[in-house]
Amino acid sequence: MGNLDSFKTFVRKNPQLINYVNNGKMTWQKFYEMYDLYGEDNNVWKDYINTEVKTATTTTSVGLLDLFSWLKNVNLDEVQTGINNLQRVVGVFQDFINKENQQPKEEYMPRPLYKHFED
């Protein structure tokens, strides 16, 4: 069990391995067998650990540039129009719900004492 505990510690140090298992590219069994055969410091892990870090860094920097370029092209008038339309839709739903919850109130009018059976 000592080897399994050290493998768990290795995975905690290198959480990139979780992505490979979640994507279906590798299984925990294969990773454990590689760990058991080669250990932590072998070049086998280079493909699974270093590649993921480079990809994440590149994606983040490109993502921010894309976000800023998208924000430059945003037409604020169209955004305001969309927000106004959304507010109208929410208002219609609120009116509908409020009308459903209101029960019609019938005023009670007592019958006059001197009238019997619609005289």
pLDDT at 80: 93
Domain-located, residue 61:
yes
pLDDT at 52: 43
pLDDT digits (tens, 9 = 90+) for 55-114: 455 555 667 888 888 888 888 888 999 999 999 999 999 988 887 777 666 788 777 777
Alpha-carbon span 51 to 44, nearest angstrom = 12
Look at the chain and report how many structural domains it folds into.
Answer: 1
Domain-located, residue 81:
no
Question: Hunting for tokens 């699974």 — which residue is that?
Answer: 48
pLDDT at 57: 52
Please report the DSSP string for 61-108 in residue order.
HHHHHHHHHHHHT--HHHHHHHHHHHHHHHHHHHHHHHHHHPPPPPPP
pLDDT tops 70 at residue 118: no
pLDDT at 85: 94
Q: Which domain holds residue 68?
A: 2-72
Alpha-carbon span 8 to 29, nearest angstrom = 12
